[in-house]
Amino acid sequence: MNVQFPRLLRPLWRNVVWRKNPSEKVIYLTFDDGPVPEVTPLVLTILAKYNVKATFFSVGENVKKHPRTYDEILKHGHKTGNHTYNHLKGFEVSVANYVENVQKAAEYIESDLFRPPYGRISFKQKKALQSDYQIIMWDIITHDYNTKILPETILKTIKRFSRNGSIVVFHDSIKAKDNVLSVLPQAIDYWKKEGYEFGLL
């Protein structure tokens, strides 16, 4: 299970953010693939309980389907980012089609943050987007969408890899529902106990 993109390869991806300031004891929580009314409001409730803010990388099609749920994210003081309109795999479409899909999502998501679904984006696609977006990857991906992975395994992974400036990926999706709702409170408890603060991208 790949939790982190190989550090030796990260410098090849210029103008892409993997991790924030390593000198600050701050965690950057992010959630991908929503909003969905079955999960996103429950995640928002957990974050509100702990007074933690996060960044939600939303799929344009989901925002169109569930505008009230999306509005709740903003009303709670969280940030949002563009995650394409149809959750595209960048390697499977042309640069023009990829950019067009991102622009379509931008009709519903006002943000200068972008995260490529699956982390799959070509160098040409990145180049086409980087003048308009800050492209955000991650330092830790929890794989909470994988129902074969137990919550306790995800929590162990978080404890092992968390460090100053870590950008952490959870998902507010149907697939991730059981894992994210179980792990998120425990992870926040752990980070707070370890003295981490929480930042917005």
List the CATH code of the domain at 19-198: 3.20.20.370
Tokens of 99: 């950019």
Q: What is the pLDDT, as a whole number, of residue 4?
A: 59
Which is the catalytic residue, given 32, 139, 144, 172? 32
Kind of pairing between the strands at 134-136 and 113-114: parallel
| 171 has catalytic annotation | yes
What stretches in the chain show pLDDT beneath 70? 1, 3-13
Which is the catalytic residue, given 76, 171, 172, 178? 171
All structural domains of the chain with their residue ranges? 19-198
Give tens-digit pLDDT for 91-115.
Answer: 899 999 999 999 999 999 999 999 9
Residue 53: is it exposed, middle or buried by C-beta count within 10 angstroms (0-12/13-18/19+)? middle
